[in-house]
Amino acid sequence: DGGITQSPKYLFRKEGQNVTLSCEQNLNHDAMYWYRQDPGQGLRLIYYSQIVNDFQKGDIAEGYSVSREKKESFPLTVTSAQKNPTAFYLCASSRQGSSNSGANVLTFGAGSRLTVL
Amino acid sequence: AQSVTQLDSHVSVSEGTPVLLRCNYSSSYSPSLFWYVQHPNKGLQLLLKYTSAATLVKGINGFEAEFKKSETSFHLTKPSAHMSDAAEYFCVVSAGGYNKLIFGAGTRLAVHP
């Protein structure tokens, strides 16, 4: 079945360490996204990518970095510069095109929960 | 500018009674509107979407929502709650581009026996 796989599901990090969250999709979607979820705040966009080798900052990109070397993969690195990294991180993907074609319908992974010790 | 407000952070209902989750939006464009559901420690799943076709939208699991432009609302309803409906629900507005999704803060639905 097609879908999005995020790993690890749970991750613990010491302060000052960088960590990388994996996101892989087999939906043949062009666009991929990373969101951060905190209690009571909904989802906030960190980075998004419309095509391979291209990505743009979202609303809260500071302290994060991404790469898009393959269509299927969009890993997120949480750097030591992110001052409050404890959160639930969600990866999503969508098709390209107009809203009527369903391009703005997101398919989500199951998420990765990062805790800073 | 686009925004979305979910009017209740928590809703509690008894099994078999109706569900109403309220959402108001603000948009300078003709919006697309969505409801997503999230079960604990899971990703989000699309319940339904409105994209300027019929104003009453039917989704999965018996949910539906009505787009009311005059009231700038897109409330989610279900005639009879089931225990499995207990989850968090997000109202989302999209206007102009697929990366311009604005998520509401979420409504946590509790269903009691």
Each residue of B6-38: pLDDT tens digit? 999 999 999 999 999 999 999 877 788 999 999
> Which residues of chain A does B36 touch, with a Cβ-Cβ cutoff of 8 Å?
108
More confident: A98 or A64:
A64
Say what the pLDDT of residue A41 is.
Answer: 82
Say what the pLDDT of residue A102 is.
Answer: 61
| Chain A contacts in chain B segment 34-93 (CB below 8 A) | 34, 36, 41-46, 49, 51, 90
A99: pLDDT strictly greater than 60: no
Say what the pLDDT of residue A112 is.
Answer: 95
Interface test with A, best of B38, B99, B107 (most A CBs within 10 A): B99
Do A102 and A96 touch, CB atoms closer than 8 A? no
B75: pLDDT strictly greater than 80: yes
Say what the pLDDT of residue B29 is.
Answer: 75
Q: What is the mean pLDDT of chain B?
A: 92
